[in-house]
Amino acid sequence: MALTTTTEEVSGRVPITVLALDGELDAANFERVIDDVRSLYDNGTRNLLIDLGGLTFLASSGLVALHSIVRLLHGEPPPDLESGWDALHSLGLDVSSGTSQTEVQLCGPQPGVARVLSRTGLDRLFRIHPDRATAIADF
Amino acid sequence: MTLDGLLRLDRLGRLLESFASVGPDLSISMEDTSANVLAAAGAPVAADDRRRRISRDIELDGGVIGRLVVFAGSGGETSGSRHSTPIAEALTEALGSSLEMLLAETLARQAAERSMTAAAERAADGGGTRLDAELALARRIQRSFVPLTSPDIPGYEIASHYEAAREVGGDFFDVFRLRTRAGRLAIVIADVTGKGIAAALLMAFARPLLHAAIDHTAAPVGALERTNRILVEERGSALFITALCAIVDLGTGRLRVGNAGHEPPLIVPATGPIRWLSGSGPLLGAFGQLDLTEGVTDLDEGDLVVLYTDGVTDARAVSGERFGDDRLVGVVEANRAARPADVVAALAGAVRDYQTGMPPADDVTIVAIRRLPVKRRRAAPDR
């Protein structure tokens, strides 16, 4: 029920930080995951693979974390969740407009998590790989 | 490595013993929910090393009370730093139930100190804490957005249930006749992601926006696209909204649905299997364009539609299991012939029973509408 996050550095074509999420990502912890990634970014991470293999549940607030993480890795000002009113611009990464980001990729979502991603359209934002090795090769 | 040997605090929560068994490569800190470090030990962590970390929430009685963070120092590995497996192993071994208790005690002690200080301050200036007052106000504002009674619609029966979690939540719903088109009823159900006052404010902003957009477009997908555009371009926010808009042609029973990332509604026909109404797309606030597809179905007499938020399906039992789609369908199936008010009450009751012993995690909203069977054939005035 808790969420454990594990980070490690791997070398693909580029240095990649792998952030593994184990447990449940929900309203109780999504802000922490954003904080974790903010600290990764501040310390030089520019390519992030989020390993969802151990994630058993993704609540809607977890989607906020995923979206914010993409923003962070884009070097955009970190969203201020408390205010919720800052004039933040959309990512301009819409699939429909033909742009896509590759800085943050996902791998190994369980079926329930994959369903939430596709229901909410957040799957548009990411390349989603079946496993870590495939994902690392794609960076 | 056992936890009891790992962390030893004195009665004031100060660390008595360092994490001897952790070794020089690791440092560990225990934080409360605001990331205030309560106890730390091990090698100091250089900024360069802060990336190699593991953190784990510490839960007690279903609520997160803090977290444990393990940093890997740079001792040992130098270049490449491919793996952090030893850290993961150390953490896995280190985590036990006693950690929760330890942190809970530390937090409880701090809270007691804080409340004593607060009580002293209150005594000094004679008022409650500002945050409590703000939360209470936000809660009241939020409640005022939720319709207490459904409109009286001849030929249809509508019931709803709205139950807020203790914290300020983000669900809302709305049922109203279109001003611009006679004979059409709009139903909106939505959930602002995130939590707290920010979510409540976004909901306060979004609800009238959706209402006006539906009135203006009389088309569920168009209304959602319009609302999304305003949210993204004019009122950008770090939060999202899952929203479902339905418009019922009261005369023909045609139901048109636009679904922006929300849980799909259940269609319960008078006879035959229950099904989900398809048609979905991205939630509001994340993308410039939604590209939604409208879902359409015709309600025959006796057909029932059940709309709900994820507070239903994501409700968690003490075992950690979620209420889920199967239980939802099961409860609706068992009550499919009942009146909408009873269907809603049965589902709300089932969710409440299911999460007995757990703190209410999320708002629960349910709306049910049935097209009533008519006894005698009458010309249904559509316009």
**Which two tokens mark B140?**
């009241």
Contact across the interface for B54 and A97, Cβ inside 8 Å? no
Return d(Cα B316, Cα B357) in angstroms, integer: 10
Interface of A with B in 110-139 (CB under 8 A): 119-122, 124-125
Residue B36 has a pLDDT of 73
Residue B376 Cα, gap to closest chain A Cα (Å):
42
Cα separation, B360 vs B314, whole angstroms: 11
Rounded to an integer, what distance in angstroms lies between the CA atom of residue A59 and that of residue A24?
A: 8
| CATH (residue range B146-371) | 3.60.40.10
Question: What is the structure's pLDDT at A89?
Answer: 39
CA angle B241, A122, B285 (to 5 degrees): 30
B56 three-state secondary structure: strand
Other Cβ atoms within 10 Å of B371 Cβ, number: 22
Domains and CATH numbers, chain A: 3-138 (3.30.750.24)
- CA distances (Å), B150 to each of A76, B284, B380, in order? 44, 25, 21
- Residue B89: the pLDDT is 44
pTM: 0.70
pLDDT at B209: 86
**C-alpha distance from residue B59 to each of A37, A117, B310 (Å):** 22, 26, 22
How is chain B split into domains, by residue range? 3-124, 146-371
Query: What residues of B are in contact with residue A114 (Cβ under 8 Å)?
Result: none
Six token digits for residue B318? 């003490």
Contact B297, B320 (CB under 8 A): no
Round to whole Å and give the CA distance between B59 and B111: 17
The amino acid at A15? P
Q: In what order do the strands lie in the sheet with B63-72?
A: A128-129, A104-107, A48-58, A15-25, A3-11, B53-60, B63-72, B26-32, B37-42
pLDDT digits (tens, 9 = 90+) for B14-34: 544 444 445 556 667 777 777
Per CB-CB distance under 8 Å, the chain A contacts of B80 are 9, 11
Helix or strand run (H / E) with residue B74: none
Token couple for A10: 């791997």
And the tokens for A80? 């201020």
Regions of chain A short of the pLDDT cut 70: 1, 77-100
Residues 221-260 of B with CB under 8 A from A: 232-233, 235-240, 242, 260
C-alpha–C-alpha distance, residues B59 and A96, integer Å:
41
Tokens 């209304």 appear where?
Answer: B223
Q: How far is the C-alpha of B104 from the C-alpha of B249, rounded, in Å?
A: 55
CB B330 within 8 A of CB B318: no
Retrieve residue B170's tokens: 């983000």
d(CA A128, CA A106): 5
Which segments in chain B show pLDDT lower than 50? Answer: 1-6, 11, 15-21, 75-98, 126
Q: In this structure, is the dihedral angle defined by the CA atoms of residues B152, B153, B159 and B162, taken in order, positive or negative? A: negative
In the numeric block, the tokens 């969740």 are attached to: A81
Question: Which of B51, B56, B57 lies closest to A7 in CB terms?
Answer: B51
From residue B349, give the alpha-carbon distance in Å to each of A96, B31, B59, B172.
42, 37, 26, 19
Chain B residues touching A96 at Cβ < 8 A: 287, 289, 291
Tokens of B292: 């939604």
Rounded Cα distance between B247 and B260, Å, is 15
Q: What is the CB-side half-sphere exposure of residue B138 using CA atoms within 13 A?
A: 22
Distance from C-alpha of B212 to C-alpha of B218, rounded to nearest angstrom = 10
The ipTM (two decimal places) reads 0.80
Mean pLDDT over the full length of chain B: 76
> Which residues are bridge partners to B56 per DSSP?
A4, B68
pLDDT at A49: 97
